[in-house]
Amino acid sequence: ERSTSTFDFASYHTIDEIYHWMDVLVGDHPNLVSKIQIGQSYENRPLYVLKFSTGGSNRSAIWLDTGIHPREWITQATGIWTANKIAEEYGKDPSVTAILDSMDIFFEIVTNPDGFVFTHSSDRLWRKTRSINAGSPCIGVDPNRNWDAGFGGSGASSDPCSETYHGPYAHSEREVKAIADFILGHGNVKSVISIHSYSQMLLFPYGYKTAPVPNHQEMNELAKKAVSDLAAVYGTKYTYGSIMDTIYAADGIAVDWAYDNGVKYSFTFELRDTGRYGFLLPSTQIIPTATETWPALLDVMVHVLEHPY
């Protein structure tokens, strides 16, 4: 496609198509969007991040990522739609404009490119990275159990053959370390929103311990508003709360790491499930999913803008 106006947001795309589309988006919005590379994957694919910025130096920032679990295709597809929406709404939507007039947004759409390619070529239901585990025939680490936050606890597996294998040590996965290094190096990231599918939840720390975060009430109220605004679009019902209370113990996860490293507004989404398809949601679900997620995302981002710290 030569323009974002001809890109089919209602289809699933390969990594080459997505990476090409990123360049098109940058070309269409050269004064707002740029593409940066924060590292390389295990199989040496570039880890690209879209930067939305209207200027300034090291502004406070919001980090978004989609697709750390590659089989969750609706997530990356929602990421593409959302990135385009951010670019298109700047200067039109007052909330997006206000956010980007003060803050930068960093958006990693294909957080686990090796796994994503593997879901297209070899195993549609692949969840992990593609790194080799010494002494085991099983490949890959669950990159959302590999963060240095309660790493190696009971909410992850020490078995390399498990879907929730935490890896040999925290940040052993290049895909994880690249993000951690970027956020720590930036030093001014105020919100991390890590997007998954599919359980219809909006969650916040902690996953590795039962103690509530100090601003639990604020996070809970924000989550409540966000899921309410999401439900107003198509009636999709989300649950919300801390990860430990809402799902289960999960050790070494991204948003816990972000929170423990000073990012107060750390959330993770679990996008929609029709109750029939799971990770194999038909592409007809992409636009509705992205559309309903948008107001919830905006709620979180506006709250971050209005509550500087």
**Contact between residue 47 and residue 38 where contact means Cβ atoms under 8 Å apart:** yes
Q: CA-to-CA distance for 246 and 72, rounded, in angstroms?
A: 20
Q: CA-to-CA distance for 98 and 67, rounded, in angstroms?
A: 27
**Does residue number 2 form part of the binding site for other proteins (CB under 8 A)?**
no
**Contact between residue 86 and residue 294 where contact means Cβ atoms under 8 Å apart:** no
- Quote the strand ranges of 170-288, DSSP E: 189-197, 201-204, 239-242, 265-271
CB of 288 to other proteins, least distance (A): 16
Say whether 270 is catalytic.
Answer: yes
Strand 201-204, strand 189-197: pairing: unpaired
In the structure encoding, which two tokens stand for residue 260, read together? 């423990």
The residue range among 94-102, 129-137, 203-211, 271-279 that interacts with other proteins, by the rule CB under 8 A, is 271-279
* 84: three-class secondary structure by DSSP: helix
**Does residue number 21 form part of the binding site for other proteins (CB under 8 A)?**
no
Contact flags string 198-217 toward other proteins, x per CB under 8 A: xx------------------
Catalytic residue among 218, 270, 292, 306: 270
**Does residue number 279 form part of the binding site for other proteins (CB under 8 A)?**
yes
Of positions 1, 8, 16, 221, contacts other proteins by CB under 8 A: 8
Of positions 23, 27, 124, 187, contacts other proteins by CB under 8 A: 124
CB of 215 to other proteins, least distance (A): 24
**Does residue number 136 form part of the binding site for other proteins (CB under 8 A)?**
no
Of positions 3, 121, 154, 158, contacts other proteins by CB under 8 A: 121
Annotate 90-113 with DSSP letters as a single string.
Answer: TTTSHHHHHHHHH-EEEEES-S-H
Which CB sits closer to other proteins, 13 or 174? 13
**Does residue number 283 form part of the binding site for other proteins (CB under 8 A)?**
yes
Which CB sits closer to other proteins, 65 or 273? 273
**Contact between residue 147 and residue 254 where contact means Cβ atoms under 8 Å apart:** yes
Task: Spell out the residues 6+ positions from residue 16 whose beta carbon is closer than 8 angstroms to its own.
Answer: none
Which CB sits closer to other proteins, 84 or 191? 84
Edge-to-edge strand ranges of the sheet holding 239-242: 33-40, 46-52, 104-108, 61-66, 189-197, 265-271, 201-204, 239-242
Which CB sits closer to other proteins, 215 or 283? 283
The residue range among 84-92, 116-124, 165-173, 221-229 that interacts with other proteins, by the rule CB under 8 A, is 116-124
* 220: three-class secondary structure by DSSP: helix
Of positions 276, 306, 308, 309, contacts other proteins by CB under 8 A: 276
In the structure encoding, which two tokens stand for residue 307, read together? 């509550």
**Does residue number 248 form part of the binding site for other proteins (CB under 8 A)?**
yes
Of positions 36, 132, 211, 280, contacts other proteins by CB under 8 A: 280
Query: Which residues make beta-bridge pairs with 132?
Result: 139
Catalytic residue numbers, as ranges: 270
Binding site for other proteins (CB under 8 A): 8, 11-12, 121-125, 159, 161-163, 198-199, 246-248, 273, 275-280, 282-283
